[in-house]
Structure 1
Amino acid sequence: MDLRQLEYFIAVAETGSFTRAAERVHITQSGVSAQVKALEHELGAELFVRSGRTARLTEAGSVALRHARAALDSTLDLRDAIDDVKGLIRGRLTIGMVIGCEITPLFDALAAFHEAHPGIDLELTEANSDHLVLGVRTGAIDVALAGLAGEPPEHLASQVIVSEPLVALTPAGSELAGRDRTTIAQLMPYRMICLPRGTGIRDVLDQAGTAVLGTRPEVALVATSPDAVAGLARRGLGVAVLSASMAAAHPDLVAVPIDGITIPALLALVWQERTSPALAAFLEHCRAAFTPGQEPVAVRP
């Protein structure tokens, strides 16, 4: 007994005809008939009542049909499982990361995945968050760790890693450093320093300013990394606007909470709903690295 015999048997049972079954499986009618006869001989029972051009299942044939279908389904499951294994032996995975930041748990996940699946080529690409999300949508990037404003993008799978407020970062001894809290409106007289548009932090600032003031806040200086933004503020060139975890990397500066911003700055993994075996395995390593309930992930410049 082989799988080909079962396939032909099922085709005859479903079409009710050796002729139509032959058309379905793309071989001659005599070939189908011979294989079914061989199966009947091996089982020791007739599977069909043959009458003219029709073929009707016998009682034995009805019982055999259920098992034949189950056998073929199991074969397909086996092939899918092998394909999954093969997908973890070789291939490529492209991971996006927001530019200018060091996300230690992501690097830990990359290292663990590479150790487990050394045959998968890894490519790491850095960009602003809007470009990362676009890359995931188009399939150019398999998964990205991106900064987002308020909520994950629609029609993509996601895992929020951090949700935190914005703060104003200023040198100790400045007028702003003497305040317990501030607001978007109170920051308007200051020269603000922030990340570029297309980053989660800047999107939160722009949306919050528009909601409160009816317009985007004016940003005097733009730098592509949190370290550079803080460094400019340290030298008295303005007030840096960053997330709380970014500000924590600069303890020599004073972080003043900004009240009235209802949109959180998110750090999230985003990917398409349909995943390859390699991506599914990498996401498991990410879930282990970004442990729920852990201390907030520091986004270090």
Structure 2
Amino acid sequence: MELHQLRYVLEVHRRGSFTGAAEALHVSQSGVSAQVAKLERELGVRLFERGSRLATLTPDGVALLPHATAALDAVGRVRAVADDLSGVVRGQVRIGTVIGCTIPGYLAGFAAFRAAHPGVAVTASEGSSADLVAALADGDLDLALVAHAGPLPPGLDVVTVVDELLVAGVPAGHPWSGRTALAPADLAAPGVAVLTLPPGTGIRAALDRTCAEAGVTLTPAVQVHSPEAALALAAQGAGVAVLAASMVGAPLHAVPLAGSVTTSLSLATRAEPGAAARAFAGLLRDRLAGGVGATGIEPVTTSL
């Protein structure tokens, strides 16, 4: 039995197919299949039911999976302790961020880590906050910069960088441009087209919770994947952009949303990270804490 065989088993389970596992592991599909089959012969049990496209665990596979996971976790902890004892940061770090993240503190921390630890391989990916949190829980990411409305799942080390309320961005001359505040019911009024981000983002979670707490049912007219798109459409008169306060600036007017739930941006680290991940998280915490002002993030830098 070899460690890479256990890794292949876990990845096939996570991806649901040998092809998906091979793509994630950057090895050939035939190599994954051969190694899993070799492990099955050695153990004397069949781990997967193989279909034309999907692979699902057999009852024996279900029984053995927690032990394979525990074995790999134990090896990872041995490496992390050894790195701590030797003072060496090596290996790899898998970091995820919300889509379009260009926060200066994040970029500065990333650059500082690469300069301090050139021997560490860094894998960076983008996604919705919901997907990033799930990847942390599954062990597919070591740390992530995520947006959320409400507490994150237990077991994560969380440092919140930004807390913001929602506003409605409207162009000059709009009937709401002179308002000091809006009620959630105003957004659901006939003829109002709300432009915002899709489910899985912190802003959308905050908007949905704000409306639910006010007893309002709201169906946004347009869902876009970047604040820039929502702001550009609002500036053209296509609707009202509902975003975090720091994202809305000239030429739009930002009108506060009464009773808004807070949308937060946090650095989340999975339980028991390795030495490299801890070092990366430490640098990011320092840079993010020093690079975010009282008004929050730089305007239009990330899909909160």
TM-score (norm 2): 0.68
- Number of aligned positions between the proteins: 219
User: 1:101–1:226: 8 Å Cα contact kept in structure 2?
Assistant: no
User: 1:88–1:117: 8 Å Cα contact kept in structure 2?
Assistant: no
> After TM superposition, which residue ranges in structure 1, 4 or more long, deviate above 6 angstroms?
none
Question: CA, structure 1 residues 88+98, in 2 after alignment: closer, same or farther (shift >3 Å)?
Answer: farther
User: 2:144–2:268: 8 Å Cα contact kept in structure 1?
Assistant: yes
Question: CA, structure 1 residues 86+111, in 2 after alignment: closer, same or farther (shift >3 Å)?
Answer: farther
**Partner residue, 1:207:** 209
Aligned counterparts of 1:84 and 1:285: Cα–Cα separation in 2 = 17
CA apart distance, 1:115: 0.5
**Partner residue, 1:24:** none
Aligned counterparts of 2:161 and 2:193: Cα–Cα separation in 1 = 31
**Partner residue, 2:263:** 265
Aligned counterparts of 2:142 and 2:135: Cα–Cα separation in 1 = 8
User: 2:197–2:225: 8 Å Cα contact kept in structure 1?
Assistant: yes
Residue identity opposite 1:256 in structure 2: V
CA apart distance, 1:288: 1.2
Question: CA, structure 1 residues 178+197, in 2 after alignment: closer, same or farther (shift >3 Å)?
Answer: same
**Partner residue, 2:240:** 239
**Which stretch of the first structure deviates more once superposed, 126-135 or 86-95?**
86-95
CA apart distance, 1:152: 2.7
Residue identity opposite 1:200 in structure 2: G
User: 2:129–2:146: 8 Å Cα contact kept in structure 1?
Assistant: yes
User: 1:223–1:229: 8 Å Cα contact kept in structure 2?
Assistant: yes
The CA RMSD measured in Å over matched residues stands at 2.0
**1:1-301 alignment to 2 at 5 Å?**
82-84=82-84, 88-189=88-189, 190-215=192-217, 217-247=218-248, 250-261=249-260, 263-291=261-289, 294-295=292-293, 296-298=296-298, 300-301=300-301
Aligned counterparts of 1:242 and 1:226: Cα–Cα separation in 2 = 7
Aligned-partner SS, 1:213: coil
Aligned counterparts of 1:233 and 1:88: Cα–Cα separation in 2 = 51
Q: If each structure's strand is expressed as a fraction of its own residues, which one has the higher value?
A: 1
Residue identity opposite 1:252 in structure 2: P
CA apart distance, 1:196: 0.5
- Deviations, residues 1-42 of structure 1 (Å, cap 9, x unaligned): xxxxxxxxxxxxxxxxxxxxxxxxxxxxxxxxxxxxxxxxxx
Aligned counterparts of 1:138 and 1:113: Cα–Cα separation in 2 = 24
Aligned counterparts of 1:81 and 1:219: Cα–Cα separation in 2 = 49
User: 1:192–1:221: 8 Å Cα contact kept in structure 2?
Assistant: yes
CA apart distance, 1:287: 1.8
Aligned-partner SS, 2:243: strand
Which protein is bigger by CA-based radius of gyration?
1
Question: CA, structure 1 residues 157+178, in 2 after alignment: closer, same or farther (shift >3 Å)?
Answer: same
- Deviations, residues 208-231 of structure 1 (Å, cap 9, x unaligned): 11111253x110001001111111
Aligned-partner SS, 1:198: coil
User: 2:169–2:240: 8 Å Cα contact kept in structure 1?
Assistant: yes
- Deviations, residues 118-173 of structure 1 (Å, cap 9, x unaligned): 01111111101000101111111111101100223333211100011000001111
Aligned counterparts of 1:225 and 1:240: Cα–Cα separation in 2 = 11
CA apart distance, 1:270: 1.0
Sequence identity, in percent? 37
**Partner residue, 2:21:** none
- Deviations, residues 260-288 of structure 1 (Å, cap 9, x unaligned): 12x21000011212110001111110121
Question: CA, structure 1 residues 299+143, in 2 after alignment: closer, same or farther (shift >3 Å)?
Answer: farther
TM-score (norm 1): 0.68
Residue identity opposite 1:264 in structure 2: T
**Which stretch of the first structure deviates more once superposed, 286-295 or 102-111?**
286-295
Residue identity opposite 1:194 in structure 2: T
Residue identity opposite 1:90 in structure 2: R
Aligned-partner SS, 1:114: helix
Residue identity opposite 2:121 in structure 1: D
Aligned counterparts of 2:228 and 2:291: Cα–Cα separation in 1 = 27
User: 2:105–2:292: 8 Å Cα contact kept in structure 1?
Assistant: no
Aligned counterparts of 1:274 and 1:238: Cα–Cα separation in 2 = 45
